[in-house]
Amino acid sequence: MLATVKKLLRHLPALLGVVLFIGAIYVVQKEFRSLKVSDIQHALGQIPTSALVISFVWNLLAYFILTFYDRLATIYAGRMVSYGKVAFASFCAYTLAHNLGVAAVSGAAVRYRLYAGWGLTPLQIGKVVVFCSLTFSFGGLVLGGSILFFEPDAIPFFGAHLPHWVMYCIGAGMWVVVTAYITLSRLIGTVRLFGNTIELPRFHMAIAQVILATVDVGVTAAIMYALLPDAPGLTYPKFLGIYLASYTAGLIANLPGGLGVFDTAMLIGLQPYLEPPQIVGAILIFRLYYYIIPLFLAGGLFAGNEMLLRSKSVLKTAGTTKSVEAIGRWSQPDFVVAAGTGAVALCGALLMAIGLLDIGGEVPNYPDWLSWTIGEMDEFIPSLLGAALVVLALGLTQRVKLAWTGSLAALAIGAMFLLAYGAPLWVPVVLLVTALMLAPFHRAFYRSTSLFAAKLRPGTVLPLIALTLCVIALASFEPKLQTLDSNSFWEAILSPDVPRSMRASLAGVIALGLYALWRLLRPAHTRFTPWNPDAAAEYAALGTPAPTQADGVIWGESGRAAIVFRRTGRILLALGDPVGDPADRISAIWSLRDLAREENLDPAIWRATRQHLQTYGDIGLTALPLGPDGIPIGDSEDTPGPHATHFLVCLAERDLPALLPLLPSLARTCPRPA
């Protein structure tokens, strides 16, 4: 029972994100159905140049303030780093965190890579990551508490439905958290939280930390406030309350940039003051300034830094082809997968919103059979392709090759259909450009699925049959929806003009079809064998001596590669790289990650080699170079990590303190690999 509860809790953030996203779609469809692209374009044109300039200046100031997060963090960690390096690390880490979501993970990976190259030890980098993560939350707590006290009615939905005394209590609770943090930093040096010992900063630094975070949130909100036209009653404090509530909803949804959820909350909160096109126009410019432009800049800067590091490593290394290839795999940034996933998901949202945005056109004069086919399908087929693209984007996050192929096919089909349908040219162009950008990076998507990894089984055949039947069933639904003004599948499901039985059947078929598609994209189930003499013999048959102590063996999707592991606390620790068939080793690494998730543990690899460092990075782990004593070393010129032969690979920001005490005993009991 407890294991089932833990499993459900592990999937709760993803489920909550889906629920909030669906709720956002419903609210937009219900409340803002008349919103048109032409109205948004007109609203964008009405934004004064002075407002655009002021907003951009606020944006520059916001990112400038973020650099002092890392500046204070390095002082707190006890290792002073030049401001130029700190600013570079801060810009790259926060830009990636803003756009990809899960800020603590994505920002931590960038910081570990950069600060390790500047000589900080893993423990010092861990302090920097924790300090920055805490600082980021204090601004919302201080300003959120203030808004709940002085402008409680400004909070969307809750302000109008909850008594003021409830809002006051919540605001007071926020202030108590911040006050307790400052007080503890003055009275005691360390606290123990969730099994981890946290060293608090000095009192004056804690004060500076809270003030800095508060100013940061206020300036970030000013970026969008400057873009809004004057509206009676919309003061900056009221807007700040709406912004904080919307941003919090986006964080809870755990979606990249709070996409959809943040925007819908802003629409609802600002609706009493402004017209929807004005709000959407301001949101678009805000996302351009705060998300998109910095992402391209940070991506280019981070990639350039990686190339510079590699070129220096090549000069320092014996110049063999093999060594150059190994260095190239040292730490490849994951911008390709992140950008591809985001672009495909956005294209899916665009296709589902064809009817909502009123961007369909008149069907040109085609032959009767073709005109009938296109004319009858209008918004129904694009909306289905959009839903499929969203599911395929989830597959891209797992680096599934079939998801890459399916995304290209769906984008091409959608573009051709919209061209034939007479939609504005920019819509199919966006789809085709996305496909062309994604196409060259096929090597980034290398995971096989159970559909191709082994012989067909019921768990694979049934979803394939279900998906085929769902496609046939959807073809029979479409002619019955022609009386609707907009017949995208989700509008048909929500429309009161469609009989309930048909709406329920349509929703069931689509849900089953999308689930079947996801099942086909998912890799095979994790295979592992408990450690016993037979498992040891089977592992040794792959050509590597079996260790004397282990908990089990994880197998690749084809069963021809394996990893030995131990369970230690909350960590599933692999004892070295996978062994066996090179073609099956990558799937064994992903199986390690999958088994860790199933058991609510964190994956880690002891004495990994460079061969699979890129794949370890793909599953969200950080590689820390090991010295001769088996202890992680700094990545400085005196101890150059890129030339190390073995690594500790883990979620360093969370698990390194727990692993460090175990390393000396592991170094004594586990022989050093050849």
Query: What is the per-residue pLDDT for 137?
Result: 81
User: Residue 529 pLDDT more than 90?
Assistant: no
Mean pLDDT value across residues 434-453: 77
By percentage, how much of the chain surpasses pLDDT 90?
10
Mean pLDDT value across residues 526-554: 85
Asked if 96 and 303 touch (Cβ cutoff 8 Å), the reply is: no
- Domain residue spans in the chain? 2-311, 335-521, 527-669
Mean pLDDT of the residues in the chain: 76
User: Residue 380 pLDDT more than 90?
Assistant: no
Q: What is the pLDDT of residues 475-488, one digit of tens each?
A: 777 677 766 666 77
User: Residue 1 pLDDT more than 70?
Assistant: no
Q: Residue 334's pLDDT band (boundaries 50, 70, 90)?
A: low
User: Residue 119 pLDDT more than 80?
Assistant: no
Query: What is the per-residue pLDDT for 605?
Result: 92
C-alpha 322/C-alpha 318 separation (Å) is: 10
Mean pLDDT value across residues 496-512: 83
Give the lowest-confidence range in 39-43, 412-416, 503-507, 629-633: 629-633
Query: What is the per-residue pLDDT for 345?
Result: 82
Of 82, 90, 81, 77, nearest in space to 201 by CA: 77
Query: What is the per-residue pLDDT for 563?
Result: 92
Strands 571-575 and 561-568: antiparallel
C-alpha 673/C-alpha 576 separation (Å) is: 8
Between 512 and 372, residue with greater pLDDT: 512
Between 513 and 598, residue with greater pLDDT: 513
Distances from the Cα of 667 to the Cαs of 249, 575, 618, 633, 656, in angstroms? 46, 11, 26, 15, 16
Q: Residue 642's pLDDT band (boundaries 50, 70, 90)?
A: very low
pTM of the model as a whole: 0.64
Q: Residue 587's pLDDT band (boundaries 50, 70, 90)?
A: confident
Give the lowest-confidence range in 37-41, 138-142, 306-310, 439-443: 306-310
Mean pLDDT value across residues 327-350: 62
Mean pLDDT value across residues 323-345: 53
Give the lowest-confidence range in 246-255, 452-461, 603-612: 452-461
Strands 622-625 and 647-650: antiparallel
Mean pLDDT value across residues 59-65: 94
Most confident of 108-112, 128-132, 329-333: 128-132
Query: What is the per-residue pLDDT for 222?
Result: 94
User: Residue 499 pLDDT more than 50?
Assistant: yes
Query: What is the per-residue pLDDT for 433?
Result: 87
**For 441, phi and psi rounded to 5 degrees?**
-105, 40
Query: What is the per-residue pLDDT for 472?
Result: 86
Query: What is the per-residue pLDDT for 196?
Result: 55
Query: What is the per-residue pLDDT for 590?
Result: 84
C-alpha 100/C-alpha 93 separation (Å) is: 11
Q: What is the dihedral of CA 467, 472, 474, 476, to 10 degrees?
A: -170
Q: Residue 670's pLDDT band (boundaries 50, 70, 90)?
A: low
Query: What is the per-residue pLDDT for 53?
Result: 94
Between 224 and 255, residue with greater pLDDT: 224
Q: Residue 12's pLDDT band (boundaries 50, 70, 90)?
A: low
Query: What is the per-residue pLDDT for 264?
Result: 82
User: Residue 638 pLDDT more than 80?
Assistant: no
Task: Evaluate the CA torsion angle 243, 249, 254, 258 in order and state its sign.
Answer: negative
Q: What is the pLDDT of residues 89-100, one digit of tens each?
A: 888 888 877 776
Query: What is the per-residue pLDDT for 318?
Result: 41
Query: What is the per-residue pLDDT for 671?
Result: 54
DSSP string, 397-444: HTTBHHHHHHHHHHHHHHHHHHHHHT--THHHHHHHHHHHHHGGGGGG
Query: What is the per-residue pLDDT for 372?
Result: 44
CB atoms within 10 A of CB 476: 9
Q: Residue 616's pLDDT band (boundaries 50, 70, 90)?
A: confident
C-alpha 327/C-alpha 507 separation (Å) is: 50
Query: What is the per-residue pLDDT for 410?
Result: 93
Mean pLDDT value across residues 362-384: 57
Q: Return all residues near 1 (Cβ < 8 A) that are at least 6 apart.
A: none
C-alpha 588/C-alpha 579 separation (Å) is: 9
Query: What is the per-residue pLDDT for 288?
Result: 86
Q: Residue 125's pLDDT band (boundaries 50, 70, 90)?
A: confident
Question: What tokens appear for 275 in the block?
Answer: 């017209």
Question: What tokens appear for 339 in the block?
Answer: 């950008």
Q: Residue 370's pLDDT band (boundaries 50, 70, 90)?
A: very low
Fold of 527-669: Aminopeptidase (3.40.630)
C-alpha 488/C-alpha 483 separation (Å) is: 12
Give helix 261-270 / helix 236-253 axis angle, nearest 10°. Answer: 150
Mean pLDDT value across residues 403-431: 86
Give the lowest-confidence range in 53-62, 71-80, 138-147, 153-162: 153-162
Query: What is the per-residue pLDDT for 120?
Result: 80
* Cα–Cα–Cα angle for 129, 132, 137, rounded to 5 degrees: 130
C-alpha 133/C-alpha 118 separation (Å) is: 21
C-alpha 647/C-alpha 45 separation (Å) is: 54
